[in-house]
Structures are given as C-alpha cells and as structure tokens.
Amino acid sequence: MNMKITYRKVNLITTFVLMVGILAACGSDNTKEDSQSTGNKENKSVTLRLFSNQPDRKSGQGLAEQMVVDNYMKENPNVKIEVEAVGDEPFRNKQKAYMASNEPIDITMVHSGADLNTLIQAKFVTELNPKDYEGQNYNFFDGAFKSFTFDGKLYGLPRNSDYEIIYYNKKLFSDNGVKVPTTFNELIDAAKTFRSKDITPMSTNGKELWTFGLLFQDFAQRVNGDPNAILDAVDQKKSFTEDDSFLQTAKLMKQFMDVKMFQDAYMTADYGSSQNLFTQGKAAMWYMGSWEAGMASNEKLSADFRNNLGVMRVPLVEDGKGKATDLLAWNGGGYALTTSSIHPEEAKKFFDYMMRADQWAKAAWDTGAAVPAQKYQLTGKESEVQKQLTDILNNGTSMPGASFIDFGTPGFKDDVQNALGKFFAGTATSEQLIADFQAAAAKQKK
C-alpha cells in the first residue's frame, strides 16, 4: 500500500484532559513565538494565499479561521493573507486542479488519509518536522498526527478532533411522541413514526458518499465491538467476506433504506442541502461529526432550532458486542504547506502561528465552531451542545483513529465509495457490497 502507516488504537480519552491554562503562552518559548509573529513588520510587503473549504466567514469554522487570519495580519501589517474559500465538494475538485497545475497557493486545507496521500504523491505538500509542533505552545492530543503521517513523515497538522454523533431536533421528537433511540431497533421505530407523519427521519448528503462509509464503519463497530476490525480488513490482515460482522452491518444499512430513513432523492443531496433540511426543521436527525458544533451558536439559524438542538450517541445494535461509549473518532481536516508557495518562509511563519494552541484551537472552541485537535480550556460559556460533545469525548472508551475509506490507497477509497454508491442507490445487494469491499482491499498496491 502507498500508505504504510500503522494505526494503533488511539489512547483512551483520558488523554484528552482539559488542562487549565494551557492556552497561556509562557517562558522563553513565548519570546520565540512573539519574535516569529512580529518579526515581519520591518520586512517588505508579502501576500499569502490560503485555500479553504469554509466559505461562511461569519460563523462556524470559517469564522474561527478568519479570526486567526485577522489576528496575524494585525500583528504583521506587512503581510496580506488572501483567503479563497469554497464549499467542500467544489473545494475537493478545485484542489485537484490546483495540484495538477501546481497553482502557487501557500497554505491549503487538507483532508487526511487518502486525500492527503494523493497530494503527497503529487509532491504538492511540504514535509513538516513534528518536533516543531511539540510542547505547550501547540498542545496537540496524543495520536493527533496519525492520519497526517505517511512512511514516517508528517505532511500536515489537524485542526479538529472529529467523531461521529447524531444531531437531533428535540422538539420534533417531543411533539411526535418519539423516544430518543438508544438501540438500532428503536432508531428504526423512530424512522417509521416520523415517516408516518411526513417528516424525514434523517438527512444525509448521499451525493458525496463518504458519509455512508462512516455510517457503515460506525455500525460495524457496534456489531463486532472492535474498532480496528475494519482497518485490519482494509490492510488485508482479515477478510471482509469472511468476517460475518460486515455482512450483518450491510443488512442493517439495508433496513435504513427499507424504512426510508433518509430524505427523498438523498443520492443527489450534497452537504449543504442535507444540513439545510435539518436546520430548517424538516428532518428529525442528521448523522454528522463533532465539527458541526457551531450550529448551536450560529445566529443565522433560527432561535427555535438552536434551542432544540440535541446530540445523541450512535445507537447500540441489539446482540452486538459494541458499547455505547465506543466512538468513531479520528483527525480528519487540517492544514498543509504547499511546495508551490512563492513565499515559503513567510508561509511557514503564518502556518506555525495559525496552529498554535492560542490561535486556531482557542478560536474554534471559544466560538463553538468545533472540538479542536489540541487541548483546550473550558470558558464556562459553552453551549449545551459543546457540553454534550465534551462529555461524549471524555467518556469514550475506544476509537479506531481513522476512517476506513481513508485508511487505504486513493484507489481503494474510489472503489469503496463507488460500491457504497451502488448499494445505497439500491442497485447492489448487501452481499455484493461486502464482496466489492474485499475486491477493493485486494486490489491495492503493496
């Protein structure tokens, strides 16, 4: 495989201790950081380009990102940072075009795993020295670099601690007498009730396919109780077709389609439209990641929605071996320096500044935008959603540390997503889905 990194079980969530005062700079390290952030003031003017997948600069992660950009330009008036920000799907397509043309951008948002591996193979991103990001100035959680490390070399830094949960509309559940599900069968029953009342049970972005991969992995972990089982299958240490837990999981996914869990025409829905369906109160649930914590504080959304936004753990599977505290968690999105940068030294100074614990991590948490990949300080002003997400994280007992669709080669990801597309479009059986997974794993180059 091109990706010769071995993922181990991520340390227990007790490593995610909320350390008081970690964001305060101190000692000689602070002096060094100050000199780096202010040393540009007497230099000639420089324009840097940041390519982002966060087009909303007034709320959520886009706001947090913009706050860091503004902070840096204020401290370094000779530096102008131009931000190009588009939605995630066009971002992925445009990033491939930039990679092919060697477009001179300086810093790019990156998706870890297979997507980042593609950029590495094209020599579009720069290798980083992990020792530069050790210590209290950065405070990354243990294991945070795993999905950004290939062949023992680091090529990017994570911005978030990503884990999957189900957001739900408390009012829709209450008004329709639906119990918040804790088991798979209860989830199916809830879907039937909502459908009988012409309410979409759960919104999804089927057009982009990756959510289906996470959903499958989440429930596979609920069935077999082993967060590493699916990664071992990708790595061909075991077989998708010989481990019955994967076929069981595929049959659970088939039940989702049988009860019309997702919105009509869900295979054509992108991220934004699936979120809008949920935030407008037209869907009772949204299976998505901790990175959407900012919905609770986004004043563009109605107060009624924000006041009724809840978070639930992914339900257990009856007779499954998984625990309620098992998490599908990894570090997905991050940033990387590009080899096409016209100003590599200045770009590195801004990159290092952005990834300090008192910049991105603080901005992301204080604005309620996301759960950062660095230890963060509680402010006492957290939303209920933030408190729930922190509780889920702190009480997590196991996690794989990687999304299985991103664990193999870029070709594996393409093959698996194509298989998921056929299955969720209703043109492939559960057995065919698992056979396709196995074929994709076997096809990878060693």
Query: pLDDT digits over 90-104, tens only?
Result: 999 999 999 999 999
Helix-, strand-, coil-residue percentages of the chain, each rounded to 5: 45, 15, 40
User: In this structure, are residues 204 and 263 in contact, taking their beta carbons and an 8 Å threshold?
Assistant: yes
Confidence (pLDDT) at 312: 97
Q: Does residue 87 share a domain with residue 143?
A: yes
For the record, the structure tokens of 374 come out as 């660095």
CA 185 to chain CA mean position, Å: 27
φ, ψ at 346 (rounded to 5°): -70, -35
Question: Any residues with CB less than 8 A from the CB of 337 and at least 6 apart, and which?
Answer: 106, 107, 125, 126, 128, 344, 347, 348, 351
Confidence (pLDDT) at 19: 32
Q: How far is residue 282's CA from residue 334's CA, in Å, rounded to a whole number?
A: 31
- Give the DSSP letter string of 306-375: HHTEEEEPPPBPTT-S--TTB--EE--EEEEEBTT-S-HHHHHHHHHHHTSIIIIIHHHHHTTS--BSB-
pLDDT in tens, 301-342: 999 999 999 999 999 999 999 999 999 999 989 999 999 999
Confidence (pLDDT) at 180: 98
- Residue 238 lies inside a defined structural domain of this protein: yes
Q: Does residue 265 share a domain with residue 410?
A: yes
Q: Does residue 355 share a domain with residue 255?
A: no
Q: Does residue 226 share a domain with residue 145?
A: no
User: In this structure, are residues 208 and 234 in contact, taking their beta carbons and an 8 Å threshold?
Assistant: no
Q: Does residue 167 share a domain with residue 152?
A: no
Q: Does residue 358 share a domain with residue 298?
A: no
Q: Assign 231 to helix, strand or coil.
A: helix
Q: Does residue 91 share a domain with residue 226?
A: no
φ, ψ at 375 (rounded to 5°): -60, 135
Q: Does residue 345 share a domain with residue 315?
A: no
Q: How far is residue 311's CA from residue 44's CA, in Å, rounded to a whole number?
A: 49
For the record, the structure tokens of 191 come out as 């879907």
**Which stretches does DSSP call E strand in 1-128?**
46-52, 79-85, 107-111
Q: How far is residue 169's CA from residue 191's CA, in Å, rounded to a whole number?
A: 13
φ, ψ at 270 (rounded to 5°): -95, -175
φ, ψ at 426 (rounded to 5°): 85, 15
pTM for the model: 0.81
Q: Does residue 141 share a domain with residue 167?
A: no
CA distances from 106 to 42, 56, 348 (A): 21, 21, 9
- Residue 148 lies inside a defined structural domain of this protein: yes
**Cβ neighbour number for residue 194 with a 10 Å cutoff:** 23
Domain count, the chain: 2
- Residue 109 lies inside a defined structural domain of this protein: yes
Q: Does residue 142 share a domain with residue 75?
A: yes
Q: Does residue 434 share a domain with residue 312?
A: yes
Q: What angle do CA 143, 147, 149 make, to 5 degrees?
A: 90
Burial letters 389-398, b for 16+ CB under 10 A, else e: bbebbeebeb
Confidence (pLDDT) at 43: 65
- Residue 8 lies inside a defined structural domain of this protein: no
- Residue 389 lies inside a defined structural domain of this protein: no
- Residue 391 lies inside a defined structural domain of this protein: no
Q: Does residue 363 share a domain with residue 323?
A: no
For the domain that residue 413 is a member of, what is the CATH number? 3.40.190.10
Question: Any residues with CB less than 8 A from the CB of 49 and at least 6 apart, and which?
Answer: 81, 82, 84, 104, 105, 106, 107
User: Which residue, 384, 298, 330, 288, is CA-closest to 64?
Assistant: 298
- Residue 1 lies inside a defined structural domain of this protein: no
What range defines the domain where residue 135 resides?
19-161+331-377
pLDDT tens across the length of the chain (446 residues): 333 333 333 333 333 333 323 333 333 344 334 434 444 445 689 999 999 999 999 999 999 999 999 999 999 999 999 999 999 989 999 999 999 999 999 999 999 989 999 999 999 999 999 999 999 999 998 889 988 999 999 999 999 999 999 999 999 999 999 999 999 999 999 999 999 999 999 999 999 999 999 999 999 999 999 999 999 999 999 999 999 999 999 999 999 999 999 999 999 999 999 999 999 999 999 999 999 999 998 999 999 999 999 999 999 999 999 999 999 999 989 999 999 999 999 999 999 999 999 999 999 999 888 899 998 878 888 899 999 998 998 888 888 988 999 999 999 999 999 999 999 999 999 999 999 999 999 999 64
Beta strands at 309-312 and 153-154: parallel, antiparallel or unpaired? unpaired
User: In this structure, are residues 223 and 322 in contact, taking their beta carbons and an 8 Å threshold?
Assistant: yes
- Residue 387 lies inside a defined structural domain of this protein: no
The residue out of 343, 377, 411 marking a domain boundary is 377
CA 421 to chain CA mean position, Å: 20
φ, ψ at 167 (rounded to 5°): -80, 145
